[in-house]
Amino acid sequence: MIKQNLRDMKKEATAHALADAAYELALERGLDGFVVDDIAQRAGYSRRTFANHFSCKEEAVVMSTVTFKENHKPPEQVLAAIPPDAPPLDTLQHLLKLRITAEMFRKLRTLLTMSKEAPTLEPYILSLLRKLQFEAQTILSELSRGRYPESYAHLLAGAMYGIMLPLIDGSLNVFLPGETAVESAEAMTFEQYLDTAFNHLRKGF
């Protein structure tokens, strides 16, 4: 994978500054309570700069879930942290722990709730999930080095989507780091949930 240069990093930082501003406005005013000019003004950029990164405010709001942080590792660093001879399921579990943050799930939960009043958000939420799925698929393919059929990476990336969905829609009682557990026999931590899900995958249900 090609490392990001300084220009790419600045471009990404600008995109996420705009996305964060859009998310803040959506929380404060609701999706219908602001326009693109409000996003650009809050982030300190022009409307033209916004248009260089996003097609609409809905896309910007959803992309705020992938925040730009100094500790947000680029793909090549993620790859370096995974043993090249690791089995694909171990690779996928490691990737989820490295790449998917509690903050991302919290924002996605908020956006899913928001989409009930603003259904125009839905296709962009699905697009983001597909982007994360494609990244996992690409990394799995690169690490497998031809040891497994290409279709295997597709299937495992699809499994990642299936693992994430109950965390986003709240259909399972899983609490994220920093959250207080709800007393229930089915309640589990994020780590426990991942371990359980991957044990099922390893055993083939």
pLDDT in tens, 182-199: 555 578 888 888 888 888
Is residue 1's pLDDT more than 50? no
What's residue 48's pLDDT?
96
Is residue 8's pLDDT more than 80? no
- Can you tell me the distance from the alpha carbon of 119 to that of 171, in angstroms, rounded to the nearest whole number? 20
Partners of 175 in beta bridges? 189
| Burial class (CB within 10 angstroms; exposed 0-12, middle 13-18, buried 19+) of 13 | exposed
Partners of 174 in beta bridges? 188
- 3-state secondary structure (DSSP) of residue 70: coil
Is residue 138's pLDDT more than 90? no
What's residue 205's pLDDT?
61
Spell out the domains of the chain, with CATH numbers in brackets.
1-67 (1.10.10), 73-205 (1.10.357)
Segment 28-54 shows an average pLDDT of 96
pLDDT in tens, 50-104: 999 999 999 999 999 885 544 455 556 666 777 777 788 888 887 777 767 778 8
